[in-house]
Amino acid sequence: MYEAAFYHCTDDGSSGSNAVVCELCPHNCHIASGRSGICGTRVNHDGRLIAENYGMVSSLSLDPIEKKPLKRFMPGSMVLSAGSYGCNFHCPFCQNNEIARPIDGPALCRYMEPEELAEMAAGLVSRGNIGLAYTYNEP
């Protein structure tokens, strides 16, 4: 379990509620113990916010840089794109819905260490790769 960053407890623990406020996105979810926020991935475990999707990769692809919101940034190059499950948006037109909000959630993912992704990105330089982009879901 990976403890999330950007949260705080809502009380001093004397009430026994163990609720937390997630501060990762503008929703500022108030999360009771045993529940998750809007994104479905940050879960309150007895007053500790756990990022259950940390290191979980639901999609991995070598994409043209033009698919990213980077106008005129190294045109013609490629970037290794990694995504996970969970999203704090509910866009009806989302083209990444199967990646960001899969029905089976973590069951469709594979755990990858950050170093493994970095090594993979470095190994793709000969194919035009310029880096690693975390994409497909929010936050």
- Closest among 38, 33, 41 to 15, alpha carbons compared: 33
Rounded CA-CA distance 26/81 in Å is 25
47-89 pLDDT tens trace: 999 999 999 999 999 999 999 988 789 999 999 999 999 999 9
Show the DSSP H helices in the chain as ranges: 97-100, 114-123
Burial class (CB in 10 A: 0-12, 13-18, 19+), 60: middle
Sign of CA dihedral 93, 97, 100, 104: positive
The model scores a pTM over 0.85? no
Token look-up 């940034």 returns 73
pLDDT band at 16 (very low <50, low <70, confident <90, very high): low
